Amino acid sequence: MTVTVSASGLTLRYGATRALDDVSLRLTPGVTGLLGPNGAGKTTLLRVLATAVPADSGAFTVLGRDPGTARGRQEVRRALGYLPQTPGFHPDFTPFEFVDYVAILKELTDRAGRHREVRRVLAEVGLGEVRGKRIRKLSGGMRQRVALAAALVGDPGFLVLDEPTVGLDPEQRLRFRELIAEAGEGRTVLLSTHQTEDVAMLCHRVLVMADGRIRFDGTPAELAARAAGRVWSSTARDAGAKAGWRTGTGAFRNVGDPPEGADLLEPTLEDGYLLALDDEHAEVTA
Amino acid sequence: MYRLRRPWTAPSTAAAALVRPVWRGLPWRVWGVAQGAGTLAAGLIRVCGGGPLPALVLLRAAVLAGALGLAFLLDDPARHTTATVPVRRVVRTALRVALVAPVVAVWWTAVLLLVPGSVRPPVWDITLEAGTASVLALAAATVAVRRTDEPEPGRSVATALLAGAVLAPLLLPARWALFVAPGDPGWAAAHERWAWVLAGAAALWAVSLREPRRRRTVRAPLRSAFRSVFRSPCGTSGLSRTC
Amino acid sequence: MTATRTERTAPVAVSTGTRNGRAAVVALAGFEARRLLLRLPVLLALAGHVTWIVWRTLRPADDFPVLQDADRATQSGPLFVGLAVMLCANQAALRSLRRDTERHFAVTSLTLWRRTAAHVLSVVPLALLTAVAVTAQFTWEAAKPGAVGRGSVAELLAGPLTVLLFGTAGVLLARLNSSAVAGPLLVVAFLLLFVGSASQSGGQDTGPVWLWPVVVTSGVHPFPSDLLGRPAGWHALYLAGLALTVALLAVLVSGGRTRTVQAALAGALALAALGGVMQTGGIPAATDTARSRASLAPEQDQTCVRRGASHYCAFPEWTPRVEDWARIADRVQGLAGGAAHDRPLLVRQRLEARYGLSDDAALDPATRPDQVTVGTSWGGDRVPEFSTAVAGVLVAGNERRAGELCDGRMVPLMWLSLAWQRDPESALRHVRLDDSVTGSALVLSGTEPLTMTAGQTKVVRALLHRPLADVGARVKAHWDELTAPGVTTARAAELLGVRVSVGGDRCTG
């Protein structure tokens, strides 16, 4: 498959903390999930790939352009859609004005064409009806959709989404999944999230980050498969489990190294994720 | 597990406990800039000399700078978090004012001392002007907090205050003049008017301190009727003010 | 890590038309300009400006504008528009920081310095709008039937350029200090420096005062255009250079350190410096000479025309006003009797230009017989004042003697001056220094003031209350006695059939 984003040896330090520690990755068209606990370096990686901050060392290319040069960075930015974590808004703007503003910043200068494009993305995220209302009057979910529309405007080839589903209710999350899945058709989407279900539903690939390093790089099925034979049920909390909790049935679900003869369960992506985080050594399978 | 010994805390105790966090949360940077500019204006009087009129104009500019700084007093980025705590808004606002009052008083004394005695306008009269401007700024900020849902209304309040300061000398008829020159026969009468404005601003401030019990714009029955007709898009995690 | 470094990377075409940074800056400037225009402070300032223009231009005192003064009268209104634009442009440039959208906007292809350039450019439409308002104000003045003289484009440019300068200063400040209070404080500083001083720069019209954006120097007497000595052209260049410098500095501190920007900044600085130096050079020697000549020997510059028996000499720009003067002189002379009725007068326009625009010294009265002085202003109280001057010359022979009158001749003089007017009593009030209609008072004229005693005031008022034809007949019948030196007020009253007690003629005040 065509590699659209490729990075090698990305390192970024904040004082003594290594936010990124020799990160290398390759992204292909479709949605790639980025999982990891808080402070794992997900947002930093996204900001580096979105050209918001330069890395201390390492290099990457986006859609064949090298953001290491001024011209290359400019070209990458022209092909980029970015939805930052907790995006800001201009509350006095309407969704149309705000997305139009971002479209201008993305150098869409033909007025009629730009307005068509803004209307298209607003309709795509389901805000066609309220596009003339001030953003201060919109609900949190609608505002998040405005931010997604701002990321989508200009038909970017590379879409960087930093926890776009935080704070959304289940219905809105489903709607967002649809939108992101649609966005992933033909585009490269890098989606940072805490929701393993989002990754399971949306992503053809998943990266797991912890302590500034990539701990896992593979398909969601592969991540889940890592937990095969390592999830079991028991009647009491199992001392050998790395994680365990009582489920609604009253039985305990344990993840870790099972005892002999344990009642093994079907693993989920989340189990694989927990184990990937817990593994001492990074493992990139893809 | 931590248990509360009493179901609530006396307001005075809560206020005392709040002193430190409120002190830390005050917009000091804005005041630094505003009071710095005011001090600079007063310093100009000393450096450049000039008669009582330029001194008064510069002092009034210092007053305005200080008042513009105070317009940001109630700016609170965490407003939506603190809006629903049991310590009432009046206590929180009063605490902010109480904390900032000594700082402003020291600054104003320094500004007055910077002005050479020979050109200094009557201290109590110019202090009355300064006090009125400050209370007006506070009242405007309190009204903005009461009427809007904006966590940081300071910018709009400062703009309104500035517009008032520009327009008042231009538009006020001579018999209501506030900005009179030193030695003008109307000085005493003008300062009587300043005192009235101060009283009005203080009354407005006091009235606006209370948290509104209901939305101001639409009466309750009308509002419910509106709600049923126009479903407003509210109710998720946003800062929607319509619900 | 298994990431390979020899991947085949495929470029993906970016759709939605061509992308052009410069066009995007212009588009963003348009967007920002629209928002700027809709901000409440700007709307209020524009509405205030328009109201001020309408109020100012509709004043009756402004019915006879002199266009080389009307042009610079357009300059103080835009100061307030400039302050509002400065505040709002500052807030607009800080919007993305305040609303935390900078994180997003920072990774768009329009970099910060280009966005700053757009903010700076967004001020231009406001400056253009101000230019429209200023042009409308001036055109309105120029279209008045009583307008004379000619305006200067450079003077008209000062207002719009001030708006541009203030707006760009707001953007520059946003890039230097992101505090929300900095903008309002800059407004206070500018208000103090430029608006406060614009009204107080009275005494000075040369030298460093020209470094301020607006130098109004509101003179009392309009000057002919070539005697103005205002370096308006250099000042416009200075303002334009300054606005450009500030705008380019804002772009530069936002990271736009390209060669073009640096070269343009150097050019703008050079323009501002050139304009700044040239405008502060003072009044050119030629202008000084011309001012002296116009003050001492105006006949060398004036054009004379004949209307009836009289001659009217005016500076070339004022010749359209001769008809107004002739009409009034004819009315006054028509009421006079004796030889004065047909005596040829010389109405000469005079001006004291040697002490600068802001000087308001009165002219010396003319000593030449039958010469009447008329100033460069017209309309309002200048009309009855001229009427008094004509009557003074008709009664006393020349202006100097009219100024020294202290006897009954004041009665026919004032009656001639006032009787033909539509509301004589109101005109009497207006020509008297203390706006009174009883008691003694100074009466203003184009040159030295005249003195009316309480008795003369009583008689004149009594005459004004009687039919014009009746009094006119008596004035003509007794003209020689009424205008003979030494005639008492009591005698004049008696001749004119007024019975009031008038007391003695004492003109000490």
| Spatial distance between the Cα atoms of A228 and A79, rounded to a whole number of angstroms | 40
The yes-or-no verdict on residue A281 having pLDDT over 60 is no
In the structure, what pLDDT confidence band is assigned to residue A15 with cuts at 50, 70 and 90?
confident
Contacting residues of B for C188, CB less than 8 Å apart: 37, 61, 64-65, 68, 162, 165
Residue A59: closest CA among chain C residues belongs to which residue?
C5
The yes-or-no verdict on residue A45 having pLDDT over 60 is yes
Nearest to A22 by CA among A58, A68, A62: A58
Q: Which residues contact C226 (CB under 8 A, 6 or more apart)?
A: C287, C290
Contact B133, B67 (CB under 8 A): yes
Residue B26: domain span: 11-229
Nearest to B74 by CA among B14, B5, B158: B158
Residue A251: the pLDDT is 87
How far is C-alpha A30 from the geometric centre of its chain's CA atoms? 12
In the structure, what pLDDT confidence band is assigned to residue A256 with cuts at 50, 70 and 90?
confident
Residue B231: the pLDDT is 38
The helix/strand count (H/E) of chain C reads as 21, 6
Residue B90: the pLDDT is 84
DSSP alpha helix (H) spans, A219-268 = 220-225
Contact B72, C221 (CB under 8 A): no
Q: Are strands A188-193 and A30-35 parallel, antiparallel or unpaired?
A: parallel
| Spatial distance between the Cα atoms of C178 and C94, rounded to a whole number of angstroms | 7
Against chain A, the chains showing at least 3 CB pairs within 8 Å are B, C
What residues of chain C score a pLDDT lower than 50?
1-17, 201, 509
Residue C197: the pLDDT is 62
Question: ipTM of the predicted structure?
Answer: 0.86
Of residues A251 and B203, more confidence is placed in B203
The yes-or-no verdict on residue A48 having pLDDT over 90 is yes
Contact C41, C126 (CB under 8 A): no
Residue B15: the pLDDT is 73
Residue type, A38: N
Residue A245: the pLDDT is 85
| Spatial distance between the Cα atoms of C48 and C36, rounded to a whole number of angstroms | 16
CATH 3.40.50.300 domain extents, chain A: 1-79+157-219+280-286
Mean pLDDT of the region B57-86: 87
Q: How far is A96 from chain B (nearest CA, A)?
A: 17
Contact flag C104-A4 (C-beta cutoff 8 Å): no
- Which residues in chain B (148-187) have CB-CB distances under 8 A to chain A? 149
Residue C177: closest CA among chain B residues belongs to which residue?
B33
Nearest to C242 by CA among C187, C174, C162: C162
- Name which of B147, B217, B234, B236 to mutate to probe chain A: the one with the most chain A Cβ atoms within 10 A of its Cβ: B236
Residue B12: the pLDDT is 67
The yes-or-no verdict on residue B242 having pLDDT over 60 is no
Tell me the backbone φ, ψ of residue C434, rounded to 5 degrees. Answer: -95, 15
The yes-or-no verdict on residue A38 having pLDDT over 80 is yes
Q: What is the per-residue pLDDT across B124-178, written as a single tens digit (0 to 9) for each?
A: 999 999 999 999 999 999 999 888 888 889 999 999 999 999 888 888 888 888 9
Contact A143/B at CB under 8 A: yes
Mean pLDDT of the region A152-173: 88
The yes-or-no verdict on residue A192 having pLDDT over 60 is yes
Report how many Cβ contacts below 8 Å link chain A to chain B: 35
Residue B125: the pLDDT is 94
DSSP of C192-250, one letter per residue? IIIIHHHTT-TT--SGGGGGSS------SS---GGG----HHHHHHHHHHHHHHHHHHH
| Spatial distance between the Cα atoms of C494 and C488, rounded to a whole number of angstroms | 10
The DSSP call for residue B176 is G
Residue A9, both tokens:
């040896």
The DSSP call for residue A63 is T
Mean pLDDT of the region B61-80: 91
Cα-atom radius of gyration of chain B, to the nearest Å?
21
Contacting residues of A for C16, CB less than 8 Å apart: 108, 113, 117, 154-155
B236 domain residue, yes or no:
no
User: CATH number for the A1-79+157-219+280-286 domain, one of 3.40.47.10, 1.10.287.3610, 3.40.50.300, 3.40.50.2000?
Assistant: 3.40.50.300
- 3-state DSSP assignment of residue A39: coil
Q: Which residues contact A123 (CB under 8 A, 6 or more apart)?
A: none
In the structure, what pLDDT confidence band is assigned to residue B203 with cuts at 50, 70 and 90?
very high
Residue B221, both tokens:
């029955």
Domain boundaries, chain C: 21-198+231-283, 292-495
**Number of compact structural domains in chain B:** 1
pTM attached to this predicted model: 0.86
Q: Which residues contact A63 (CB under 8 A, 6 or more apart)?
A: A4, A5, A76, A79, A157, A158, A188, C9, C10, C11, C12
In percent, how much of chain A has pLDDT > 70? 97
- 3-state DSSP assignment of residue C124: helix
| Spatial distance between the Cα atoms of A121 and A108, rounded to a whole number of angstroms | 14
B237 domain residue, yes or no:
no
Contact A106, C19 (CB under 8 A): yes
How far is C-alpha A235 from the geometric centre of its chain's CA atoms? 36
Cα-atom radius of gyration of chain A, to the nearest Å?
21
Q: What is the per-residue pLDDT across B176-196, written as a single tens digit (0 to 9) for each?
A: 889 888 888 889 999 999 999
Residue B7: the pLDDT is 52
Burial group, residue C279, by CB count within 10 angstroms (0-12, 13-18, 19+) = buried
| Spatial distance between the Cα atoms of C94 and B102, rounded to a whole number of angstroms | 31
Contacting residues of B for A140, CB less than 8 Å apart: 236-240
Q: Which residues contact B154 (CB under 8 A, 6 or more apart)?
A: B27, B30, B71, B72, B73, B74, B75, B141, C180, C181
Q: How far is A57 from chain C (nearest CA, A)?
A: 15
Contacting residues of C for A117, CB less than 8 Å apart: 16
Q: What is the per-residue pLDDT across A70-99, written as a single tens digit (0 to 9) for each?
A: 889 888 999 999 999 888 889 999 999 999
| Spatial distance between the Cα atoms of A224 and A233, rounded to a whole number of angstroms | 17
Residue C170: the pLDDT is 97
| Spatial distance between the Cα atoms of C213 and C162, rounded to a whole number of angstroms | 6
The mean pLDDT value of chain B amounts to 82
B238 domain residue, yes or no:
no
Contact flag B158-C83 (C-beta cutoff 8 Å): no
Of the CA atoms within 13 Å of residue C457, those in its CB half-sphere come to 21
Q: How far is A41 from chain B (nearest CA, A)?
A: 26
Contact flag C108-A91 (C-beta cutoff 8 Å): no
Q: Which residues contact C135 (CB under 8 A, 6 or more apart)?
A: C156
- 3-state DSSP assignment of residue C299: helix
The yes-or-no verdict on residue B234 having pLDDT over 50 is no
Contact flag A139-B235 (C-beta cutoff 8 Å): yes
The yes-or-no verdict on residue A217 having pLDDT over 80 is yes
Contact C201/B at CB under 8 A: no
Q: How far is C471 from chain B (nearest CA, A)?
A: 43
Q: Please list the residues that pair with C310 across neighbouring strands.
A: C307
How far is C-alpha C127 from the geometric centre of its chain's CA atoms? 20
